[in-house]
Amino acid sequence: MKRYSRHLLLEEMGRSGQQKLQQARVLVVGAGGLGCPALQYLAAAGVGHIGIIDGDEVDESNLQRQILFSPHDVGKKKAEIAKRQLLHQNPLITVAAYPFLLDEKNATDLIAAYDLVLDGCDNFTTRYLVNDACVITGKPFVSGAVFKFEGQLSVFNYRNGPTYRCLYPEPGDIATCSEVGVLATLTGIIGTMMATEAIKIISEKGLVLSGKLLVADALSMNFNQFEFESNPANQKISTLGPSLSSNCSIPFEITKDQLNLLNDYLLVDVRSAEEFVLNNNGGINIPLATLLDKTDELPHDKPIICSCRSGIQSVVAVQFLKEVGFQNAFSLKKN
């Protein structure tokens, strides 16, 4: 009672909410930059049964953001070290470590044994796999992603809400953080928000981020939410397909070289007005948050090229533009 007293004091949580946490079974995919903070808060908050699946070993370059690990853990299995740390932090919970990768053979059985999944992996293959296995087993999942200074958060397959495929119908090839770098604290922010959504789902309190994508920009501290629709066809998955290639490209991305071949187009910088003023790379500025209100300023007779700093917000912008009929929209690919 004393350990959880600050939760018990919350009217919305109270004894029944805390008991729901204690009874909950949560699987975290990936004990990396997002998984570590998410796991720490789930354990501290008293989620009774936590599973950790990660096939990787701790690397020295992980220590910048993977806060469950120390230098003497380098070379050891992340799932096992994370389990040890969480039990040390909260001996009142149970933790299962799966020191291997989630794949098509184990995903459905493993996910079926949990109430909720948190996906903190770093690749599209696993994201689609988690999605499809959650659809098949009827489990909601909280999804986080980080790239340089930008993070994304959403909840999929929650009470028949939209799935990951409703937001991202096609696999992408955006580089992982091992190739481009990521701000340490951003993984903490998004990972902690993933745990927050998990606690809300389990305790059945608050508005869950279902059908909405939160895009966070650590440099400007702009946090924006975008709504997206459900496509009922995406609920009809009944078997896991073979692994999706993680290097197939987003069909609506365009490189700088390809852009140079175009005679006429409209360049739309979808960063915030502040960022645009600080670093004007040409084109017009329509921040992502206002894009759908300003579609009457956009042409239908020439390509619309969306651009941002890292190539993530521009992909989201194109996704939204295509939904409202701008099939000639492309995202400018970053190096």
Rounded-to-integer distance, Cα 259 and Cα 177, Å? 26
The reply on whether position 64 binds ligand ATP by CB under 6 A is no
Helix H or strand E segment including 215: strand 212-217
Q: Torsion over CA of 166, 172, 176 and 179, rounded to 10 degrees? A: -160
Per the annotation, the verdict on 177 as an active-site residue is yes
Contacts of ligand ATP in 80-109 (CB under 6 A): 101-102
**Least CB distance from residue 219 to ligand ATP, whole Å?**
19
Cα distance between the two ends of the chain: 52
- Rounded to a whole number of angstroms, the minimum distance from the CB of residue 34 to ligand ATP is 7
Instruction: Kindly state whether residue 77 participates in binding ligand ATP, applying the rule CB under 6 A.
Output: no
- CA torsion through residues 145, 19, 51, 240, sign: negative
Nearer to ligand ATP, 31 or 42 (CB): 31
Tell me if 174 sits within 8 A of 315, measured CB to CB: yes
Site string for ligand ATP, 143-182 (x = CB under 6 A): ---------------------------------xxx----
CB contact at 8 A, 240 and 108? yes
**Helix (H) / strand (E) containing 193:** helix 184-203
Is 121 noted as a catalytic residue in this protein?
A: no
Beta carbons of 112 and 94 less than 8 angstroms apart: no
Min separation Cβ 326 and ligand ATP, Å: 32
Contacts to ligand ATP from residues 267-306, by CB under 6 A:
none
- Of the candidate spans 26-34, 234-242, 284-292, 324-332, the one that interacts with ligand ATP by CB under 6 A turns out to be 26-34
Write out the catalytic residue numbers: 177, 308
Which residue ranges make up the site for ligand ATP (CB under 6 A)? 29-33, 53-56, 61-62, 66, 78, 101-102, 121-123, 126, 176-178
